Chains A and B, each alone.
Chain A
Amino acid sequence: MDNQNTRRNFLKTAGIALGCLGLAVPERVIGSGNKVLDAEGDTITLLTPGGQLVKVEKSKLKPAELPSLTENQKRGREGLPIRAWVMVIDLSKCRNARKCMAACQAHHQLRPEQHHMNTLQMQDAEHTAPYYMPKNCQHCDNPPCTKVCPVNATFKRSDGIVLIDNERCIGCRFCIAACPYSARVFNWFEPRDAEKYKDVVYDIEANVPQKKGTISKCLFSADLLRAGKLPSCVSACPNGVYWFGDQNEDAVTNGTTKETTRFSKLLKDNAGYTLMEELGTKPRVYYLPPKNRAFPFEGEMQKHE
């Protein structure tokens, strides 16, 4: 009992302290903006999840409940209840617009050469037609990366997402070696705009702010999913490439058209498949073959010997 009391007292004090901090440094503005830059006069500059800088009047700000780092990390490790997220990428629709890549880099504070989402030019055999293939973390159900992590910094959640805790990562890069999809990136230097993000509380579900010497990877924009939104790459696509949804509900929504359809039927009708299924990784990202393409393949194949 005594123990509990002290803990409650501690939490109370901590709560008051956090509340004060929340007043001084407003963390979330009406659910969207969450990055504070600097205050000047009656307006304040904020960074939205989309990576835009916006000026907002101070009077419009309301103090937000600021989740503490530990709460945040604990919550982030559990996953959203009864969800099983899946992504379907329709290769027949992709024209290499790269809006997904840009949105992703803005959301996750990535440098231009760091890709959670990367649109690759693919050609399966010498005489087959080339096509564009957006590739992100496959959120495998049998993930080779989480197995090798020595400190449980990268882990698989109950809703199927593979996340990374960059407060714990020691930077050994074993997970990069283990991942057959080259889905992981490392912060070789200070991350982009490190100064701007330095006071932001770490959000494990967006892996922002990024940290030097740690791993980053696609998280299906878990922070947006918690807010009931689609991942940033999915909603950024202008061509209807991405479908995203819950396997338990058997429903996926197209990020461009917002049309919702049956996940199983979509795969069945279009001969959906997973990447390198022979490796036994059981991806949660499915592909629809590049058949009857909406756009022709343009440009030259990049050669890498």
Chain B
Amino acid sequence: MTQKLTPDESRQKFDKIFADLTRSLKIKDELARFWIFILGMFLIVGLWGWIHQINKGLGITGMRDYVSWGMYIGNFVFFVAVSLIGLLISSILHLLHFDWGKPISRVAETVAIAAVALAGLVIVMDMGRPDRFLNIFLHGRFASPIVWDVTVITTYVAISTLLFYLPLIPDLALLRDRLGDDVPKIQKKLYSVLSLGWKGNTRQFEIITHAVRIMLVLIIPVGLSIHTVTSWLFANTLRAGWDSTIFGPYFVSGAFVAGSAAVILVMYVYRQRYDLEEYFTDKSFDWMGKMLVLMCLVYLYFNINEYLVPAYKMRAAEGVHLRELFTGRWSGLFWFAQIGGIFLPVILLLFRYFRRPLPITIIAFITLVASWFKRFIIVIPTLEHPHLPIQNVPEHFVHYTPTRPEIMITLLPFFASAIIITMLAKLFPVVTMWEYAEHSGVDKKTMFEDSEK
């Protein structure tokens, strides 16, 4: 991997890496503007829907007293799930010295930050009284899993941001020193402030490596907690379909599936859009494909446990619930989620052909959509079957059907997270430059020649 380069070769090589990885910062074409415009429009429509909902009440959604959690909560679980990929790729792969994960660790952190930030917003959108959000801090009761969730999610946001920022500091110094006039002054100023006077000496690298390592270890328990606690919002109730002891690992393993799929999508877009074939290589996609298969197999194992064990006994309420899923009203969505989200990737990605960039991206897209519906299937059908019969209420209380404003509000975080990801790619290189250069044999001294002054 590391062949010794002469200083001149080294300098040339690094110039090329720098030029490649700062391309995303410089692109200002029609497509970029159009993309932001489209996202912005949908975002505004979603926000308008939310304002409408705040004025009229949550009644503008399809939720009612029985199915009182709907798509918003499914969406929340989905975004928390996707954010867990930061833990898997940047931490676990790194600590286990899987070097293929390094160039994509910033992609993983980007996805994690965007997803977990939006998860926080989604949960506020589901509240009947978002104006009283601070009550959670003023009157928080530590016995409530919601308070645990708020605690671990805010911690996860903090650690993920640090994991994004710390390895970025040397890159920011490079941008500060080497970037010409093709970016606005204010942007250069931003790099200068954020790089904290980085000079690139050995001592600084020691400190940053040490700090990153602490974060990499810390994020493991916190990351596992966010999704385990989220699963307990369901598992800690007495309802058939939720009342399960394996919900924690079941959710965590499902999260790795959804997150891997999301990272593959973003990798592919970066690769095509910013001409980064040398950085997001065929080999990286191949590895991601293998990892997705592994994660799907683990998830499959938990699915079998979660469905087969109660299905064997068919206890009254569980039986009603499972019949609805397997052959009843929800069977279409259920089988789409199971086949698209587990079986399809497992079978296809076993073949090398499908692990090439384009096919795997298409499969990842289907898997991601199926993962979203999987959360929908976990949240809603259970609520349609409470212990006591649903009577003396209008028909739309009995069955849940999302309304149009509700769908708009549900889509909002997708556009918002796409905007966050786009903005991060426009501000910062999508691969850690110094790490990648070092890996390609460029000496750190050469990289920071200009900074030493």
B139 interface residue (CB < 8 Å to A) = yes
> Which secondary structure characterizes the binding site on chain A?
loop
Q: How far is the CA of A169 from the CA of B131 in the complex (A)?
A: 11
Closest to B329 in A: A305
Instruction: Please give, as numbers and ranges, the residues of chain A lying within 8 Å of B138 by CB-CB distance.
Output: 151
Minimum CB distance partner of B148 in chain A: A150
Contact B144 A174 (CB under 8 A): yes
Indicate if the CB atoms of B135 and A168 lie closer than 8 Å.
Answer: yes
B236 interfacial contact with A, CB 8 Å: yes
A-contact bits for B120-140, CB 8 A (1 contact / 0 none): 000000111100110110111
Q: Residue-by-residue, is B26-66 near A (CB-CB < 8 Å gives 1, otherwise 0)?
A: 00000000000000000000000000000011110001111
Interface set, chain B 82-130, CB cutoff 8 A to A: 126-129
Bound state CA distance, A181 and B126, in angstroms?
Answer: 23
With an 8 A cutoff between CB atoms, is B248 at the interface?
A: no
Residues of B within 8 A of A190 (CB): 57
| Contacts A135-B388, A178-B238 given; does A171 touch B139 at CB 8 Å | no
Task: State whether A212 touches B128 (Cβ < 8 A).
Answer: yes
Closest to A123 in B: B389
State which residues 351-408 of B face A: CB under 8 Å: 383, 386-394, 397-398
CA distance A302 to B145 in the complex (A): 36
Q: How far is the CA of A170 from the CA of B66 in the complex (A)?
A: 18
A2→B172 CA distance, assembly (Å): 57
Number of contact residues on B: which range applies? Answer: 35 or more
Q: With a CB–CB cut-off of 8 A, which chain B residues contact A101?
A: 392
B136 near A151 (CB under 8 angstroms)?
yes
Chain A residue at smallest Cβ distance from B146: A150
Q: Report B208 CB to chain A, min CB distance, Å.
A: 38
Task: Tell me if B393 and A149 are in contact (CB < 8 A).
Answer: no
A121 close to B389 (CB less than 8 A): yes
B68 at the interface (CB under 8 A from A): yes
On whether the beta carbons of A180 and B387 are closer than 8 Å, the reply is: yes
B233 interface residue per 8 A CB criterion: yes
The reply to whether B139 and A182 contact each other, CB–CB distance below 8 Å, is no
Contact partner, B57, options A172, A176, A189, Cβ 8 Å? A189
User: What would 12 more interface pairs be, CB under 8 Å, given A120-B389, A169-B129, A170-B132?
Assistant: A120-B391, A149-B141, A151-B132, A151-B140, A169-B128, A173-B128, A174-B233, A178-B236, A182-B386, A213-B128, A214-B128, A305-B328
Contact B69 A148 (CB under 8 A): no
State whether the Cβ of B239 lies closer than 8 Å to any Cβ in chain A. Answer: yes
Q: What does the 1/0 interface line of B136-175 toward A look like (CB < 8 Å)? A: 1011110111110010000000000000000000000000
Given the known A-B contacts A170-B132, A177-B68, are A148 and B236 also in contact in the complex, defined by CB atoms under 8 Å?
yes
In contact, B68 and A186 (Cβ under 8 angstroms)? yes
Chain B residues lying within 8 Å of A172, measured Cβ to Cβ, are 126-128, 146
Q: How large is the interface on A (under 10, 10 to 19, 20 to 34, 35 or more residues)?
A: 35 or more
Q: Quick one: which of A174, A187, A276 contacts B387, CB cutoff 8 A?
A: A276
B12 at interface (Cβ–Cβ under 8 A)?
Answer: no
Q: Which residues from 68 to 102 on chain A have a C-beta closer than 8 Å to any C-beta of chain B?
A: 101
Q: Can you name 11 A-B pairs with beta carbons within 8 Å?
A: A118-B392, A135-B388, A148-B146, A149-B144, A150-B140, A151-B135, A172-B127, A177-B68, A181-B387, A189-B59, A304-B391
**Pairwise interchain contact B398-A171, C-beta atoms closer than 8 A:** no
- Judged by a CB distance under 8 angstroms, whether A50 is at the interface is no
> Which residue of A is nearest B328, CB measured?
A305
A119–B392 touching, CB < 8 Å: yes
CB–CB A180/B389 < 8 A: no
CB-nearest residue of chain A relative to B393?
Answer: A113
The one of B58, B143, B144, B145 in contact with A186, judged by C-beta atoms closer than 8 angstroms, is B58
